[in-house]
Amino acid sequence: MAHGNGGEHGTGEEQDEVHACIEECISCHAVCMNTVPYCLETGGAHADAAHVRLLLDCAQACQLSADFMLRGSDYHEEACALCAEVCRACEASCREFVDDEDMLACAEVCATCATACEQMADMEQ
């Protein structure tokens, strides 16, 4: 595992990408956390334990990734790789609710965050 120099190092463009990814992670965390009570209140397939657990996993992975980037952790690339993987799984789970605009909106936020985290995970530092 190669580890980068962390937060305050790198070019201005790299820092812009890091800040954008942090914002995406924070946004995805909030959306997933807000979607959990919606799913529980809606019931049925929305409240399936695996789906709710995935929403919570996604929120936590996003928080972890944002925290690692904010403090310039040498492990932020690994955190972002995990976050991207969990976000992609959460996106797929949310897209199964094809007639539910709230779930599709959650899927879109997860997809955007996954893309940003994939870019961070692939950054060479």
Is the pLDDT at 3 greater than 80? The verdict is no
Rounded mean pLDDT of the chain?
Answer: 91
Of the candidates 23, 19, 48, 26, which has an alpha carbon nearest to the alpha carbon of residue 36?
48
pLDDT of residue 15: 85
Q: Calculate mean pLDDT across residues 96-108.
A: 97
103/46 Cα distance (integer angstroms): 9
- Domains of the chain by range and CATH? 12-122 (1.20.1270.360)
Is the pLDDT at 41 greater than 70? The verdict is yes
Is the pLDDT at 8 greater than 50? The verdict is no
Give the angle subtended at the CA of 65 by the CAs of 62 and 71, to the nearest 5°: 135
pLDDT of residue 12: 72
Is the pLDDT at 2 greater than 60? The verdict is no
Show Cβ contacts of residue 87 under 8 Å, excluding neighbours closer than 6 positions.
28, 58, 61, 62, 110, 111, 113, 114, 117
